[in-house]
Structure 1
Amino acid sequence: MRVALIVVSVALLLLAVLWGYQRQLIYLPDTTAVSASAGAQDVVLETSDGVKLGAWLLRPRGPDRGVAVLVANGNGGNRAGRAPLAQALAAEGLTVLLFDYRGYGGNEGSPSEQGLARDVRAAQRYLVESGVPPERTVYFGESLGAAVVTELTTSVAPGGLVLRSPFVDLASVGQVHYPFLPVGLLLRDKFPLAEQLAGVKAPVAVVYGSEDSVVPPEQSREVADAAPTLKDLVEIPGADHNDAALVHGPEVIAAVVRLAEQL
């Protein structure tokens, strides 16, 4: 009996620690402040709760398609790591807004599901105030960012939605990596991507790597199945989650361009 009580007590203590520190496991920010990369303009976004966010605006190089791409990052690093993506999109005649969430890239605040929802709305509002209407905007979400832009789409419909390495929901991908834990019961941040996508009417493209070790490829395919208006499903053979081919490779860029050409 005493041994059983000790085991139960240790398990409860572990669960309590995981409950309290779960966001440190979910969000992995590079907090280093960054300056604009080549061809980018530093801009500042302000959220509805008063948080100021650093961002970069890249103007199109070459013929302007009159379409903007709002990029929502994944859970790690900061916007500097997405500069090659933004530059490649700008080279295709697209305006690109690249921003960091609260707690990332020198920004104040701490990330959470609700906080990221406020952050992406500040980015979308900036584009509107700059003269780009939602119907001429493509939302691009990378991994966790795919859930962020899908949630945004439920309230502000874009011209199109590109989801790179999307998961069904955070619990589903968490259970893959922590099969011994009741992830669904512990999570405070849910990110129910597939459920929210089911109500999205904008055209959708899904891009994923066949060897993704972070988000299982079958989850990305399940997300594609949930999209009522799926226009493009692109598998990049041999690509893992953070491989260059999946982060900013030509097949990723082409998927965005194909969707932009339909607007």
Structure 2
Amino acid sequence: MSRKRLRTLTVVGIVALVASGVIAFIWSQQRRLIYFPSPGPVPSASAVLPAGRDVVIETSDGMRLGAWYFPHTSGGRGPAVLVCNGNAGDRSMRAELAVALNQMGLSALLIDYRGYGGNPGKPSEEGLAADAEAAQDWLAEQIDVDPKRIAYFGESLGAAVAVGLAVRRPPAALVLRSPFTSLADVGAVQYPWLPLRRLLLDRYPSIERIASVSAPVLVIAGSADDIVPPALSERLVDAAAEPKRYVVVPGVGHNDRELLDGQVMLDAIRSFLAQTPVLGRPRS
């Protein structure tokens, strides 16, 4: 073998070892690249709305999760919404959304997943699914909530959590803000050189689940979203069953205020829920 050939093979071998080492590191640390929880503590719910309550929700595997509950003020058993947060921060970052939903006449439950907002545990796809189920159980048991008039609202990664929950426990309506088809598809946008479909422990395959959702679906996306490109949200809409609605907010990015409590988004949610049992005529 010539020296030139030997040097080439040596360089290729070193590159391969470095690449495999990088991939191994990313595999071992991947959940730190997916979940970005704040450590807490979270302020009291009454600092957001006077009637707000700090509550604790216990999961099937023994986690005790802090949450906020904002009851509606219309009296009797009424409509409610379970809010599934995205992958960063904690529920205090969604305070304005909670106020807006409550002003629509909805009781609102904002949970923090395990590992978020000072909660115990570490986040994972399986863990977040258990957290959402526990939250839905808690909300449906409240004396001021009609279980047949509960909507789910999911933001980004929380949209994938909400889709999975909607398959297992159908809501009266499902609102998805900046949803994606799968976590691998989002990762391919940000890290196109990684073989993510083989690496990912948590996959969130919403594209495989959405057709099984029996509730009306509203999808809201920002046209300038470079974290979850609107094309991924559109593909999810295409795969969903009717009735469904797709709203694009022009010129808006993933973390822009317009996708927290912007008027276009709130008007879309209000008009959509008015056509469902949530804010429309309840089912008999």
Q: Structure 1: how far apart are the matches of 2:174 and 2:106?
A: 15
Aligned to 1:4: 12
Deviation per residue, 1:68-120 (Å, 9 max, x gap): 01000000010000000000110111100001000000100000000000000
Aligned to 2:139: 127
Alignment of 1:32-51 (within 5 A): 32-35=40-43, 36=45, 37-39=47-49, 40-51=52-63
Q: Structure 2: how far apart are the matches of 1:215 and 1:22?
A: 18
The share of aligned pairs that are identical, in percent, is 50
Instruction: Identify which range, 111-120 or 227-236, moves more after superposition.
Output: 227-236
Displacement of 1:60 in angstroms is 2.2
Greater C-alpha Rg = 2
2:79·2:146 contact (CA, 8 Å) conserved in 1? no
Q: Structure 2: how far apart are the matches of 1:57 and 1:127?
A: 9
Letter in 1 for 2:127: G
Asked if residue 146 in structure 1 is aligned to residue 159 in structure 2, the reply is yes
Change (3 A) 1:52 1:230: same
Aligned to 2:254: 241
Q: Structure 2: how far apart are the matches of 1:2 and 1:167?
A: 41
Displacement of 1:231 in angstroms is 2.9
1:64·1:94 contact (CA, 8 Å) conserved in 2? no
Deviation per residue, 1:9-50 (Å, 9 max, x gap): 111111110100000000011111112232221000000000
The correspondence for 1:73, drawn from 85, 90, 115, is 85
* TM-score, length of structure 1 as denominator length: 0.96
Alignment of 1:87-126 (within 5 A): 87-126=99-138
Q: Structure 2: how far apart are the matches of 1:207 and 1:59?
A: 25
* TM-score, length of structure 2 as denominator length: 0.89
Displacement of 1:233 in angstroms is 1.2
Letter in 2 for 1:38: V
Displacement of 1:258 in angstroms is 2.5
**What secondary structure is seen at the aligned counterpart in 2 of 1:213?**
coil
Structure 2: state its 5+ residue gaps. 1-8, 278-284
Aligned to 1:21: 29
**What secondary structure is seen at the aligned counterpart in 1 of 2:96?**
helix
Q: Structure 1: how far apart are the matches of 2:66 and 2:266?
A: 24
The correspondence for 2:171, drawn from 137, 155, 158, is 158
1:53·1:99 contact (CA, 8 Å) conserved in 2? yes
Instruction: Identify which range, 136-145 or 63-72, moves more after superposition.
Output: 63-72
Q: Structure 2: how far apart are the matches of 1:64 and 1:255?
A: 26
Asked if residue 186 in structure 1 is aligned to residue 211 in structure 2, the reply is no
Displacement of 1:238 in angstroms is 0.7
Displacement of 1:65 in angstroms is 8.6
**What secondary structure is seen at the aligned counterpart in 1 of 2:83?**
strand
Letter in 1 for 2:272: L
Instruction: Identify which range, 59-68 or 105-114, moves more after superposition.
Output: 59-68
RMSD (Å) for aligned C-alpha atoms: 1.5
Asked if residue 211 in structure 1 is aligned to residue 224 in structure 2, the reply is yes
Q: How many correspondences in the alignment?
A: 263
**What secondary structure is seen at the aligned counterpart in 1 of 2:33?**
helix
**What secondary structure is seen at the aligned counterpart in 2 of 1:56?**
strand
1:137·1:159 contact (CA, 8 Å) conserved in 2? yes
Q: Structure 2: how far apart are the matches of 1:62 and 1:133?
A: 13
Q: Structure 1: how far apart are the matches of 2:89 and 2:204?
A: 19
2:60·2:134 contact (CA, 8 Å) conserved in 1? yes
1:135·1:157 contact (CA, 8 Å) conserved in 2? no
Structure 1: state its 5+ residue gaps. none
Displacement of 1:252 in angstroms is 2.1
The correspondence for 2:212, drawn from 199, 202, 219, is 199
